[in-house]
């Protein structure tokens, strides 16, 4: 990234879940294709974690956006966040390079599964496609970009 490139030109938001308080459950994003990117990054914004609550996150891969053949992307999970450990109000990131996917098997789509345990907790996430295979990167999913 050069000094004159804008963040919005090199990081394309492919998925997002706006911050919300979610009860104990597993919440999966949709699958999104990384076919046009060399890298991606899930950025998870964690707010308050409920009493005795936990948050886990794991990245999965599939051969298409409907989730065909889904399986875990090895090594792409966060260390569990806990209310007891004072882990609320944190930002965590999971970076993915396309070569970390099972490209030989045709896997180029990813999703994130975030699990809250015991108590409602606040979080949201965004997934950026980074290092586009084709320039220029579109800016259509940005609501507004201010220079």
Residue 82 is part of a domain; what is its CATH number?
2.60.120.380
Residue 50 lies in a domain: yes
Q: For residue range 32-44, what is the model confidence (pLDDT) as tens digits?
A: 999 999 999 999 9
Q: For residue range 73-111, what is the model confidence (pLDDT) as tens digits?
A: 999 999 999 999 999 999 999 999 999 999 999 999 999
Residue 36 lies in a domain: yes
Q: 86 in the Ramachandran plot: left (φ > 0), alpha (ψ -120 to 50) or beta?
A: left
Residue 2 lies in a domain: no
Q: Enter the pTM of the model.
A: 0.89
pLDDT of amino acid 139: 66
Query: For residues 54 and 56, what is the distance between their CA atoms, to the nearest angstrom?
Result: 7
Closest CA to 125 of 43, 47, 4, 55: 43
Domain coverage including residue 57 = 12-132
Residue 62 lies in a domain: yes
Q: For residue range 101-133, what is the model confidence (pLDDT) as tens digits?
A: 999 999 999 999 999 999 999 999 999 999 887
Residue 41 lies in a domain: yes
């Amino acid at each position: 990234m050069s000094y004159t490139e804008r963040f919005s030109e090199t990081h394309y938001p492919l998925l997002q879940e706006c911050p919300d308080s979610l009860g104990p459950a597993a919440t999966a994003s949709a699958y999104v294709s990384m076919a046009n990117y060399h890298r991606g990054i899930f950025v998870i914004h964690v707010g308050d974690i409920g009493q005795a609550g936990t948050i886990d996150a794991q990245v999965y891969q599939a051969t298409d956006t409907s989730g065909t053949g889904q399986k875990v992307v090895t090594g792409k999970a966060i260390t569990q966040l806990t209310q007891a450990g004072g882990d609320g109000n944190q930002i965590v990131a999971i970076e993915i390079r396309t070569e970390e996917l099972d490209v030989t098997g045709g896997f180029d789509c990813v999703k994130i599964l975030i699990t809250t345990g015991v108590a409602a907790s606040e979080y949201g996430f965004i997934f950026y496609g980074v290092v586009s295979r084709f320039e220029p990167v579109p800016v259509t999913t940005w609501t507004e970009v201010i220079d």
